[in-house]
Amino acid sequence: MKLVVSMLSGREVQIEIEDATTIRELRRRAQKELGFLLSGLVRSSYDLPSSLTLEKAGLKDGDMVTAVVKSDGIARSCTGFALVRSDMSVVTWGRFGENPPTSFALSGVELIFAEWCDFCAILANGTVLTWGESSPPPSKVEQQLAHAETIDFSMLAFAATLSDGSVVTWGETDFGGDCSDVQDQLKNVQLIWASDSAFAAHRTDGSVVTWGDPDAGGDSSAVQEKLKCVQDMNCTCTAFVAICSDGSAVAWGNPRNGGDSSAVQDQLKSVQCIQASETAFAAILKNRRVVTWGDPGGGGDSSPVQHQLRDVRAILGNRSAFAAILGNGSVVTWGSPGDGGDSSSVRQQLRGVRAIQCTDRAFAAIRYNGSVVTWGDAFAGGDSSRVQAQLTRVSEIQANSFAFAAILEDGSVKTWGDPAAGGDSSAVQADLIDVLQIQYTDRAFAALRADGAVVTWGDPEFGADSSSVREQLGPVQRGVKRRRALQDATDTPADPAAR
């Protein structure tokens, strides 16, 4: 059949394609022809699901579909940034180790993935480019990556899920780079989770396949019989947990870091979701109570505050502490006191909280009135007194390992925490206007403005120094829709004051 794919600008292309082809492949073809990244395809005001074939989506010869152009975005690793423009070009800066990017080759990028110290980009022509600390994939793997849907990272290995649900891996064997022992089981994979040095693949039939470092969750043989009808998963640095359809939870990996849930197994019933710190898990049950396990010093022991953990709506974990938002907008914390597990100094201020963000060792809560409350390690953002008076009408907060950056409703930005890691933005404050989004490495920030310009600050070794690509990070001449204020978000508890 022949289909017409049209942009809102009026530009259109005609694509000849088989009716058994998926919407995903049609989108990719359209991206290549139009030269713009597309977030999706729409027909008669309805989004076309990527997994459907053209026939099942009801498309017929001569039909027209509308292409939705993806906005500019910033991808990040621990040490560098990549700005992905809607015209499929990419600008990179930061520290990339022994395998820096080839800037002239970074055009026509269709997908880009980043984690730890590595990036992986898939071009519209099927070419795969990698850069960062790790070695590129071998040629036999690279050929298969043209069909990659997602790429996941352990510290030194990669796992790509292909469009047919199979998986290919590369990198250090001890970190999950070799999946040959389970290759025949890696079919119909819908999602992959990664600990520091192991992978767990969640298949469409609800089963789980693991490989990599046995001490980090790469060996699930002890619980394999229980890993059936899995609905969701999570992981700490060296352990995994799966939520099954019957509401139970199954954990494996390093016992110290959450791989052994036997002490609380009888309580893990009707589990709704599970959050993780670096070394412990916290499960929210259907009755809105909480069960924790793992490293006691990392939040695995919530007994001192267990009586307060009622009507829990959301939990966030940093390196070694947790913070829970209750239905009435108050907050309960536990774990390492110095990392935010002790919020007693600000307890009276933690009312009407709608969202929480964290660095490695501190927390920041946004209240419904737009103000911010912070606690934890002062040097890592637990002390916001320097900018407290300016933290009003806060829309959202982003955080790296040691500093916070708040976007206000007017698009300006306020920062605090370790000055060398981005907690001091005074050198670029005048440029931080009309900010749409902020991304981060371990010790730096990059802000994308409404005019397409990018502003960076923090540690130069971690991406704050963008001087080498300054001209490419300047404004672009096109319209960008401003984001909606975050008070429209629906993921947070209702404002208690509005009840």
Domain boundaries, the chain: 2-69, 309-499
Write out the chain's pLDDT in tens, 499 residues: 999 999 877 888 999 999 888 898 898 888 888 878 788 899 887 889 888 899 999 999 999 999 988 878 888 999 999 988 888 788 889 988 666 665 545 567 777 888 888 888 887 776 778 888 877 888 888 888 878 888 999 999 999 999 899 999 999 999 999 999 999 999 999 999 999 999 999 999 999 999 999 999 999 999 999 999 999 999 999 999 999 999 999 999 999 999 999 999 999 999 999 999 999 999 999 999 999 999 999 999 999 999 999 999 999 999 999 999 999 999 999 999 999 999 999 999 999 999 999 999 999 999 999 999 999 999 999 999 999 999 999 999 999 999 999 999 999 999 999 999 999 999 999 999 999 999 999 999 999 999 999 999 999 999 999 998 988 898 864 433 323 222 333 344 445 544 3
Q: What is the CATH number of domain 309-499?
A: 2.130.10.30
pTM of the model: 0.86
Q: What is the 3-class SS of the chain, one letter each residue?
A: CEEEEECCCCCEEEEECCCCCEHHHHHHHHHHHHCCCEEEEEECCEECCCCCECCCCCCCCCCEEEEEECCCEEEECCCEEEEECCCCCEEEEECCCCECCCHHHCCCEEEEEEECCEEEEEECCCCEEEEECCCCCCHHHHHHHHHEEEEEECCCEEEEEECCCCEEEEECHHHCCCCHHHHHHCCCEEEEEECCCEEEEEECCCCEEEEECHHHCCCCHHHHHHCCCEEEEEECCCEEEEEECCCCEEEEECHHHCCCCHHHHHHCCCEEEEEECCCEEEEEECCCCEEEEECHHHCCCCHHHHHHCCCEEEEEECCCEEEEEECCCCEEEEECHHHCCCCHHHHHHCCCEEEEEECCCEEEEEECCCCEEEEECHHHCCCCCCCHHHCCCEEEEEECCCEEEEEECCCCEEEEECHHHCCCCHHHHHHCCCEEEEEECCCEEEEEECCCCEEEEECHHHCCCCHHHHHHHCCCCCCCCCCCCHHHCCCCCCCHHHC
Top-level class of domain 2-69: alpha beta
